[in-house]
Structure 1
C-alpha cells in the first residue's frame, strides 16, 4: 500500500464532501429552496476538486520525481504518466 503525506488531508476533504452530499440529498427530500441546494452542491464540487488537486500535486511532487530520478534522463514512462495524470487537472 502506497501512502502519500497528503492522503490524510485528501481523506478529510473527501469526508467533508461526503457530508455535504448527504446534506444535499436531505435538502432535496425536505423540499429546500433550489438556491440552498445549489450552494451545497457547489461546496461538494469544491471539496472534491481540492482533494483531487492535492492528490495530483502530491503525485507529481513525489512519485514522478522519484521515477525520473530512478530512470535514465528522458524516461518515456515518466512523461507518459505525467500526460495521463494532467488530463484530470
Structure 2
C-alpha cells in the first residue's frame, strides 16, 4: 500500500466488484469473438459495453470516495494535516 492508501470499505464496493467481474467475463468473451473471427460491429458493440461498465465502476468509486472520505479529509485539514487534501486532489484527476 502507498502512504495514501488505507484499508476501508464502502457500501458500493460489493456492487463495483460485481460490475467489474461481469465486465471481466465480457472481456474474455470478446477475445473469443476475435479468435472466432466474429463481425467487427459485434466486437465493437461488446467493447463499448465493457468500456461503459468500467467507466461506471470508476465513477461510482470516485463518487463514493468523495461522499464518504471528504468529511474525514476536511476534519484532518482542521488539524493541519495536508495528506487528505492531496489525496482528494489526486483522485479528482480521474473524473
TM-score by length of structure 2 reads 0.83
Partner of 2:9: 3
Once the two structures are superposed, what CA deviation does each residue of 1:27-70 show, in whole Å capped at 9, x if it has no partner?
A: 00110000000000001100100000000001001112222124
Alignment pair present for 1:64 and 2:70: yes
List alignment gaps of at least 5 residues for structure 2.
1-6
Q: Distance in 1 between matches of 2:93 and 2:48?
A: 22
| Matched length | 89
How large is the RMSD of aligned CA atoms in angstroms?
A: 1.7
Contact 1:56–1:85 at 8 Å: present in 2 too?
yes
Given the alignment, which residue of 30, 33, 39 partners 1:33? 39
Which structure has the highest helix share of the two? 1
